[in-house]
Amino acid sequence: MFRWKLSVTAAVAAATLALSGCAASDSAPATDESVVLGQIIAPSSFDVSQAEWGNRALYYQAVYDTLLVTNADGSIDPYLASAYSYNEDNTVLTLTLRDDVKFTDGTAFNADVAVQNLERFKNGGGLAANDFASVESFEATDDYTVVITLSAPDPALTTYIGREAGLMASPAMFDAEDAATNPIGSGPYILDQKATVDGSSYVFTANPDYWNPEVQHYTEITMKVLSDPTAITNAIQAGEVNAAKLAGNKDNAQIEGAGWALNMNELDFMGLLLLDRAGTTNPALGDVKVRQAINYAVDREGLLEALQQGNGTATTQVFKESSPAYDPALDEMYPYDPAKAKKLLAEAGYADGLTISMPSTVVLDPTAFTIIAQQLADVGITAEYSDTAPENYIADMLAPKFPAAYMALEEQKDWQLIQFMLSPTAIFNPFKYADATSTALINEIQAGDEATQNAKAKELNKFVVEQAWFAPFFRVQVGYATDPATSVTVMPTNAVPSLYDIQPKK
């Protein structure tokens, strides 16, 4: 299932060799080209302690480096850390850092700076601070060695420090009043604040002193925020962008008709997150029969066709199809059955209906919210929407301001998914829901050998589906669109490609 100790150990030597020739003196310089990338959301903050990955990853990759890096094939390699290894029981991770890196303000990168960044992320109160829930300490044992000690093994730790948790900023930012808008990193680009319009357009120019210029494919990158799916299509057809993350599939024919390529990736599941499973703010959702009724109320195949033109796979599960936890039989558990939904609601004491408050946003296609509301209304459930600005949608959901929400979330590696959505401390478990069964299974997965992990993950998946923690609709294939002059390799583990994998077509 995880194979994490073996894969990390095997990767170290090869990855170290791969990066050993990346000094500025023997790598190709950045090209003289520029590119405009369409983004569906603006950065919430450039302060790395508040960083979120997903659709915001490109903003951070432009100006910062991470300790490790996740490749398009899902493998993890060294980056600012030139090598890394675990101890025998996977509770101590040792990172050897590069000694030739400086931030754009001239500050040298070293182990002390890395530890300050790591501690600041863990204690900074950001949405992803839980990435370090198992970390007991960070220690700089010499100028270029960092030792991370864990209270228990965390199979996703190297993944986390290859993304938001591993972003490294200059100490000058830590207490700066403008830390949210003025990033100081060691990354391939520098934010041009004069040319940037906050919330609308972000301009980055190539860092002339970057230690790894082979990933600088452009001299200038503009990231243009296009939250409305129609605005994305219009910008593509007008030639205002060179590449863009699509919010859905309804305009695929128009985009291909404009001569663009659709680089498809089946990463996310889309559906309802039934967050208030204890009934803290909405007592009805504390009843499993109500949550099951919601699952019977939705026509998954119809929603897939109506919202994504069939580009995806209907499912009731949040674990990905390639996971040992995945069980095809579970996808048959909740066939579209409004009569069964009404019966369950009546048994739960809601024969006369109930109301669930949820956020809505333009980013996720207004049509989706309309159809969802209609299907729920057909069984007696009123969806009471609160229109939410795109930049606040996730923050409001996780506050938590709503007992349920329509959302697209990536299907990650098993342990990462558990820590992301299922555990009591997971980001997308904002009510911190826990019960004896799921807690016991999660503990067994964390501590068990591979066979135990596989078996218990399958049990956990079955339990989550039976208890209707979510109402998934489908796994969706969504494109990252590119014009004829631009090439991209999609990232199966993230919503957008790595910035390093967007480049001029040769």
Per-residue model confidence (pLDDT) at position 429: 96
Q: Report the predicted TM-score, pTM, of the whole model to 2 decimal places.
A: 0.77
Shared domain for 278 and 156, answered yes or no, is: no
Question: How many domains are there within the chain?
Answer: 2
Mean pLDDT, the chain, rounded, equals: 91
Shared domain for 488 and 470, answered yes or no, is: no
Q: Quote the tokens at residue 214.
A: 């082979």
Residue range 158-190, pLDDT digits in tens? 999 999 999 999 999 999 999 999 999 999 999
Beta strands in 239-390 (DSSP E): 243-245, 261-274, 312-314, 354-360, 381-387
Shared domain for 354 and 445, answered yes or no, is: yes
Indicate the SS3 state at residue 244: strand
Shared domain for 496 and 463, answered yes or no, is: no
Shared domain for 282 and 380, answered yes or no, is: yes
Domain presence at residue 258: no
Shared domain for 300 and 420, answered yes or no, is: yes
Shared domain for 30 and 174, answered yes or no, is: yes
Residue range 412-442, pLDDT digits in tens? 788 889 999 999 999 999 999 999 999 999 9
DSSP letters spanning 141-178: EETTEEEEEESS--TTHHHHTTTGGGEEB-GGGTT-TT
Domain presence at residue 242: no
The CATH number assigned to the domain holding 144 equals 3.40.190.10
Domain presence at residue 247: no
Q: Which residues of 331-341 are buried (b: 16+ CB within 10 A; e: fewer)?
A: bebbebbbebb
Shared domain for 491 and 444, answered yes or no, is: no
Domain presence at residue 245: no
The average pLDDT across 63-81 equals 95
Domain presence at residue 260: no
Per-residue model confidence (pLDDT) at position 31: 60
Residue range 318-352, pLDDT digits in tens? 998 989 999 999 999 999 999 999 999 999 999 99
Shared domain for 322 and 368, answered yes or no, is: yes
Q: Quote the tokens at residue 262.
A: 């659709």
CB 314 within 8 A of CB 304: yes
Poorest-pLDDT segment among 217-226, 254-263, 411-420: 411-420
Shared domain for 402 and 491, answered yes or no, is: no
Shared domain for 275 and 367, answered yes or no, is: yes
Using alpha carbons, select from 102, 103, 92, 184 the residue that is nearest to residue 145.
92
Domain presence at residue 238: no
Residues in the chain: 506
Using alpha carbons, select from 348, 66, 61 the residue that is nearest to residue 217.
61
The average pLDDT across 147-156 equals 93
With cut-offs at 50, 70 and 90, classify the pLDDT of residue 4: very low
The CATH number assigned to the domain holding 408 equals 3.10.105.10
For 95, the domain range is: 4-226+483-504
The average pLDDT across 250-265 equals 93
The average pLDDT across 289-296 equals 98
Per-residue model confidence (pLDDT) at position 495: 86
Q: Which residues pair with 397 in a beta bridge?
A: none
Shared domain for 295 and 167, answered yes or no, is: no
